Amino acid sequence: MSYQEAAATEVACRLLAAVPGMTRMKLMKLMYIIDQAALLRWGYAITGDEYVAMSHGPVLSQTYNNIRERPETIVARDGELTTWASHVDSSKGNAVALRAPCEFAALSEAEVGLVEEVIAKHGRMTAKQLQDHTHTFPEWSDPSPARAKDISIRDILEKNGVPEDDAAGIVDDINAFAMMERVFS
């Protein structure tokens, strides 16, 4: 799987535009819920991120790093701000805000629909309620005493009822797609 920065940024922008008072944790939980739902529905994750279990629940690894960094430290190869840092401002303590609206369309109609569905169902929950909710996800377990531990796509699929053979096929498809992306990029 390879990180899809434009897609992750668009998901974050849509969440930030629709949900007032966003915190880092709330954004992370909503984005995880969206990716998990995409995996279970379509066999792929929107963000292409990797997942880890932390004490506050599951998180998207690269997205978590982006949220924690100061924008001026997140620069692309050409020296400009990355797509994420150009659109998402997480420099004000625990608050996260929209720096600039996304003027691109990295998401399909179905993916936009899923984001809107998650906003309607979970957007009014507090960060603590979302944390408690994601603690009920079968793929999450407390990583203590470690700070974090990996959550595999296969674990997400199988622990949510996808048969073992189907989960293995989905993981193979995701890996093949990631390899093709590397070859053709």
Q: Is the pLDDT of residue 182 over 80?
A: no
Mean pLDDT of 82-91: 89
Q: Determine the pLDDT at residue 43.
A: 94
Domain assignment of residue 164, yes or no: no
- C-alpha to C-alpha distance for 166 and 34, rounded to whole angstroms: 21
The radius of gyration of the chain's CA atoms, rounded to the nearest angstrom, is 16
The total number of structural domains in the chain stands at 1
Q: Is the pLDDT of residue 80 over 80?
A: no
- C-alpha to C-alpha distance for 103 and 97, rounded to whole angstroms: 16
Domain assignment of residue 92, yes or no: yes
Domain assignment of residue 181, yes or no: no
CB 51 within 8 A of CB 57: no
Query: What predicted TM-score, i.e. pTM, was given to this entire model?
Result: 0.92
Residue carrying the six token digits 């998402």: 88
Domain assignment of residue 129, yes or no: yes
pLDDT digit string, tens, across residues 128-162: 999 999 999 999 999 988 889 999 999 999 999 99
Q: Is the pLDDT of residue 75 over 70?
A: no
List the structure tokens of 91: 């420099």
Domain assignment of residue 167, yes or no: no
CB 157 within 8 A of CB 166: yes
Q: Determine the pLDDT at residue 169.
A: 93
Domain assignment of residue 51, yes or no: yes
- Residue by residue, DSSP assigns 76-130 as -TTSSBPHHHHHEEEEETTEEEESS---S--S-HHHHHHHHHHHHHHTTS-HHHH
List the structure tokens of 10: 């668009």
Domain assignment of residue 79, yes or no: yes
Domain assignment of residue 23, yes or no: yes
Q: Determine the pLDDT at residue 71.
A: 60
Domain that holds residue 100: 5-152
